[in-house]
Structure 1
Amino acid sequence: MMEIEYKSAQEIKTFQETLLKDQLAYLAIHSPYYKRLFKKYEINPSAIKTIEDLRFLPTTSKNDLQQYNDDFFCVPKSEIIDYCTTSGTLGSPVTFGLTDKDLERLAYNEMCSFEKIGVQKDDLVQLMTTIDRRFMAGLAYFLGLRKIGAGILRVGSGIPEMQWDSILKYKPKFVIAVPSFLLKLIEYAEKNNIDYRNSSVQKVLCIGESLNDVDFNQTILTKRILEKWPLELYSTYASTEMGAAFTECASRKGGHVQPDLIITEILDEEERPVADGQSGELVITNLGLEGIPLLRFKTGDIVRKHVDACACGRHTYRIGAVEGRKQHMVKYKGTTLYPPAMHDLLAGFPEIEQHLIEISSNDIGTDEIVIFIASNNRSDEFLQHIKDHFRAKLRVAPRIEWKDLEELQKIVFNPLSRKPITFLDRRD
């Protein structure tokens, strides 16, 4: 348990600003990219003394990382212990190198996350995500659990049969999984007469998909899971670039920042701070990183910052559910949409076995949406029901096309991808 989390907001801010000065001094000496940036803009890093002063520094984009990847390394390659790459969701993958100290920091990060949801030394945790393919998240979960001293079942992603074999044999209390995969586990259990409601699993740390909307109401996906399986679901949000996680406590009012690992800003289109509780792009500055620390990195994720008191007693601010990615914003028939809202709406139809959202540009340069759906029910009535639901919830109805399940799964579960591909952006 971090003592700083329970200090006043001002004490936390002062604490972070001390770490920020250290990180800036480190970048000024060791980062080829930021040394060049400071020189170009005639910036004296030692003049940046407060979090508010960050606005005087230029932001770093994903394009910068892709174009100058090697220049972000602050240590010789001989000091890199582990290499990770981003998933490439928003372009070409970027390589990150972690030193021995960075790996310890990563373990500490996830230890703090797991402690928020109640994981203790004697617990057993089943990991339903890959730990290979240069994937940082799976490695982080393993290291964090090892630091706690908990038992770990490294089953990997997918394959409900193997997941249930492990659950029934070893009886884990905790699971780390993508929420929608829990529906697959339920479906498999019902078909094979597994009493899943009375299994050992009690709590799930959910990754990759939001459990709540911007007002902290349960998403359709969350409701579908809990109607069948009364689990305790907790959301966590992280990325390779952040090197830190925002994980919910029992209050489930957003993921708490870990103040010794990261500083965040929420900015509008003109890179101005938005008011607390308003949506904007998450911009992060790493603290305490050696390999590739980032300064004012634009994540592309649209989120909200919540600073009201949390019932858990922590005074750290919280980051709400990711509402969408800036590059994935869709303007359709005058309405602004983000894929997560469409994914969650489709999750409300048990008849839909699989779906894929594809965005393209039409002849007049505006966005077009096609949703490919695999379902045993291909009636006109069901199709109209889906479209009516879209109009009622999102004000517009996209084009829908039926696809065979096998054909769709080849795209969604591409073996070259670490994550299911349920959104394709084919715009110019």
Structure 2
Amino acid sequence: MKPEKTKLENWICETEKIAVLTRPVLEDLQLSRLNSLLSSPAFRRGYYSNLPNRIESLSELSSLPFTTQEELSENSRRMAICSQADIKRIISDVTSGTTGPSKRVFYTETDIMHTIGFFAAGISEMCSNGDKVLIAMPQSGPSGLFELISAAVLRLGATPVACGVGKSFGEMADIMRSNRPDAFIGMPVPLFSLIRFMGSDFSVKRALISADSCPQSVETALVRALGTKLFPHYGSRETGLGGAVTCSAHSGMHIRENHIIAEIIAPDGFALPDGSQGELVITTIGLSAMPLIRYRTGDFCCIMPDACACGGVTKRLGAVFRDTNDEVSISSLDDALFSILQLVDYSIKKTDSGYEIFALHLGSENIAEEIRAAVLALYPNISFSVSSDLCLPERKPLYLGKRHIIS
């Protein structure tokens, strides 16, 4: 049976007042919106004042200069094109350890409402009226990520169940047992760890995963536990928090193309054809507070070369990952170590002599030896020390955000 067309395109048609969405219609919209942005007085007074005020085709976008993460950090306020009074939300993030300027991204009320609409479209792929949805995302006040997702869930007639981040495994298990949610929204490894901690006593059957990459071993285990495929989502502060989401065909994430133009580039900056892995570059034509031109995300993926089985016309991103160029890849470690059946979670720290791994497990006496064997197979010439402890209910996930090697 043919999958249902991505619900994202219903939202695009409704938002843009388009009767029938086709590739030419969508690309005409993108070019028109980009040129309106390039020629607007507010845009031309700010950081991008040296850009041309018009391009003749989307292919000419590649002639414009990139915006780097460092430039965003150093020029955030100059990149905003709205008044201070119109800014309803600011998200700040220090991008270079504990030093350097903070990367600040601004949003208007319109940006926030568009994000809720996009979230609702994506979430509707896996839940509907009457469902309960466990949300394991940060609760950071009005217009925070948890609050926007909750608003989208409520728009569908479903019930948001607050979990947040930073709770112990016992606390999360209690929330799961007392509320019996049908679906989950959050990072993949915390869901995997919670299910492994709880055993078979969980109710979630569908999951929209976001905010971190999903190792293949974790995806395989989650699909087996839930009985359904996952719904990956890609988003960042720079995309307005929502960027691309999976449809029922489960073959890539449909891009929010009414608001985002996506490119994939090689290390030398030249554009790559669809199907090629490279760095994702975004031009956010639909953001009214802080549109970015050719922003280098630092994320790596491809644009899927084939049409989606759902019949949608929006382009799709493949799996997204970070290329850290470290001697040890946490993605490779995740894939190998989470295949160990008694492992609930682990963290890794760089030391002067090598790396330290700390693991939480379900009671295996041999967990440290299994971990050593797995890392030795990957990195035979690097020193690792391994310690472990039983995952008691008061233990918490070892990462609150994206998984990384602790320095």
Q: TM-score, normalised by structure 1?
A: 0.79
* CA pair 399-93 structure 1, distance change in 2 beyond 3 A: farther
- Alignment RMSD, CA only? 3.2
Partner of 1:171: 180
2:208 to 195, 201, 205: 205
Secondary structure of the residue aligned to 1:278 is: coil
User: Which amino acid letter does the alignment assign opposite residue 87 of structure 2?
Assistant: I
CA displacement at 1:202 relative to structure 2: 1.7
Does 1:277 find its partner at 2:275? yes
* CA pair 188-272 structure 1, distance change in 2 beyond 3 A: same
CA distance in 2, matches of 1:276, 1:151: 38
CA distance in 1, matches of 2:280, 2:30: 17
CA distance in 1, matches of 2:178, 2:345: 30
Structure 1 residues 335-392: Cα deviation after superposition (integer angstroms, max 9, x where no partner): xx743233222211234454334568x9xxxxx963523366568853552145426x
CA distance in 1, matches of 2:381, 2:68: 33
Kept in 2, the 8 Å contact 1:202–1:232? The answer is: no
Structure 1 residues 287-320: Cα deviation after superposition (integer angstroms, max 9, x where no partner): 2212111111000011111031111111211111
1:403 to 380, 387, 398: 387
Secondary structure of the residue aligned to 1:349 is: coil
Identity of aligned residues (%): 20
CA displacement at 1:51 relative to structure 2: 1.9
Secondary structure of the residue aligned to 1:305 is: coil
Structure 1 residues 253-289: Cα deviation after superposition (integer angstroms, max 9, x where no partner): 1111121121111001111011211111100011221
Kept in 2, the 8 Å contact 1:353–1:405? The answer is: no
Structure 1 residues 75-132: Cα deviation after superposition (integer angstroms, max 9, x where no partner): 22222122222474877542222211111111112122112x2332333212111121
Secondary structure of the residue aligned to 1:23 is: helix
- Structure 1: where are the runs of 5+ without partners? 213-218, 363-367
CA distance in 2, matches of 1:168, 1:411: 17
* CA pair 329-21 structure 1, distance change in 2 beyond 3 A: same
Does 1:373 find its partner at 2:358? yes
Spell out the pairing of 1:224-303 with structure 2 (5 A cutoff). 224-243=221-240, 244-303=242-301
User: Which amino acid letter does the alignment assign opposite residue 278 of structure 1?
Assistant: S
CA displacement at 1:167 relative to structure 2: 3.3
User: Which amino acid letter does the alignment assign opposite residue 137 of structure 1?
Assistant: L
CA distance in 1, matches of 2:160, 2:133: 5
**Stretch deviating more after TM superposition (178-187 or 239-248):** 178-187
- Structure 2: where are the runs of 5+ without partners? 1-6, 14-19
Partner of 1:145: 153
Partner of 1:66: 73
Partner of 2:190: 181
Kept in 2, the 8 Å contact 1:412–1:421? The answer is: no
CA distance in 2, matches of 1:34, 1:287: 13
Partner of 1:345: 336
Q: Which has the higher contact order (CA 8 A, sep 6+)?
A: 2
Partner of 1:156: 164
User: Which amino acid letter does the alignment assign opposite residue 390 of structure 1?
Assistant: L
Secondary structure of the residue aligned to 2:81 is: coil
* CA pair 369-318 structure 1, distance change in 2 beyond 3 A: farther
CA displacement at 1:60 relative to structure 2: 0.5
User: Which amino acid letter does the alignment assign opposite residue 343 of structure 1?
Assistant: D
